[in-house]
Amino acid sequence: MRKRNEERQAPQDEQPQQNPMFDAEQDEQPQDEQPQQDHVFDDEHDQQQQQFDDEHGQQHQSEEPMFLGGPYDLSVLKDYEHHIAINVWNGQDRRALKVVSNGKKQDKFIDIRYHLPAQIDHWINISGLRHLRRCSLHMIDGNMISAFAKRWHAETSSFHLSFGEMTITLDDVRGLLSIPCTGEFFTPPANVNEDLAIVAVVELLGVAYDELVTETRTNRGASYSFEWLKEIFFKKLHERRYDCAARAYLLHLVGCTILADKSFTLVSAKYLFLFQDLDSCGKWP
């Protein structure tokens, strides 16, 4: 009887020993398999990425750039062949930049301490351009300007520097020049020729037709010289035609600063239309 009871108890004793082991194996199996699958997936992803990088690198190594030292892809910088960087890369001497500042022209136009008539002063305030009078420099570091000019790309409107790209924003212009950068866009008349330049000055500056014909022919185009605008300013100031004097002053101001061109002594006639209506000329950014 005692042996039979032990035999009956034996399966009961053995069963609890087998089940925990069996259950533990079942519980541990998914935990062991899951990291292995993730590891395999990561290896495959790394291999694919490495293969892509190798092919991409070999493609660039096998391709000869159109311009040595330049970009492989010219879809953005389409005018790179005309950029000064090519001459610099080839060791060619670049033409020295001619850097001109119109600060002295502003000083000769009118003394900054001179008190303008109240009406002219009012229109200058409306335009928002008063601070341009103090922004012109008398001396400029030509080497620094040349260094930035070599790195400027007009197609992206940015400087390509060793650490990345930089650009000049409207907020920079507002902060440095203290002029407004919000408002309506100005669209000058199309095809401003000598005839239209003459008509505009007759109406807006009150100049005789014969006098203006001589000025435009001397300049060989639809533009006015700074010296001539200075003469018109003082002439209209003496005649108390303050609206004409204000337009001559403002046109000279923008021509010497933010709208200067390579002529260094002229301003385009199309900018006179900015000040056609002096009471609302501040709407242009």
Model confidence over 58-90: pLDDT tens digits? Answer: 444 445 556 665 666 777 777 877 787 777 777
Residues 59, 111, single domain; the answer is: no
Round the average pLDDT of the chain to a whole number and report it. 77
Q: How far is it, in rounded angstroms, from Cα 38 to Cα 91? A: 54
Give the H or E element holding residue 164. strand 164-166
227 part of a folded domain: yes
Which of 11, 39, 63 is the C-terminal boundary of a domain?
63
CB 284 within 8 A of CB 274: yes
Residues 122, 12, single domain; the answer is: no
Residues 193, 263, single domain; the answer is: yes
92 part of a folded domain: no
Residues 241, 113, single domain; the answer is: yes
pTM of the model: 0.68
Range of the domain at 23: 1-63
Long-range CB contact pairs, 190-199, < 8 A, 24+: 192/222, 192/268, 192/269, 192/270, 193/222, 194/221, 194/222, 196/222, 196/269, 197/222, 197/223, 197/224, 197/269
CB within 8 A of 222, min separation 6: which ones? 192, 193, 194, 196, 197, 216, 268, 269, 270
**Token digits for 188?**
């000058």
Residues 113, 230, single domain; the answer is: yes
258 part of a folded domain: yes
Residues 7, 124, single domain; the answer is: no
255 part of a folded domain: yes
Residues 113, 195, single domain; the answer is: yes
134 part of a folded domain: yes
Coil, helix or strand for 153?
strand
Radius of gyration of the chain (CA): 38
Reported as a single tens digit per residue, the pLDDT across 219-246 is 878 889 999 999 999 999 999 999 999 9
Count the helices and strands in the chain (H runs, E runs).
Answer: 10, 5
19 part of a folded domain: yes
160 part of a folded domain: no
80 part of a folded domain: no
CB 218 within 8 A of CB 211: no
Reported as a single tens digit per residue, the pLDDT across 10-47 is 444 444 444 444 444 444 444 444 444 444 445 665 66
Residues 43, 115, single domain; the answer is: no
CB within 8 A of 268, min separation 6: which ones? 192, 222, 223, 255, 259, 261
Phi and psi of 153, rounded to 5°?
Answer: -120, 115
Whole-number pLDDT of residue 273: 93
Residues 2, 136, single domain; the answer is: no
Find which of 26-35, 56-65, 118-127, 183-192 is predicted with most confidence, using mean pLDDT: 118-127
Residues 111, 236, single domain; the answer is: yes
Residues 271, 130, single domain; the answer is: yes
Q: How far is it, in rounded angstroms, from Cα 267 to Cα 251? A: 8
Whole-number pLDDT of residue 181: 83
Coil, helix or strand for 258?
coil
Q: Give the closest residue to 144 by CA, choosing from 194, 103, 91, 97.
A: 97
Tally of domains within the chain:
2
CB 267 within 8 A of CB 201: no
Neighbouring-strand partners of residue 267:
224
Q: How far is it, in rounded angstroms, from Cα 104 to Cα 155? A: 33
Residues 122, 233, single domain; the answer is: yes
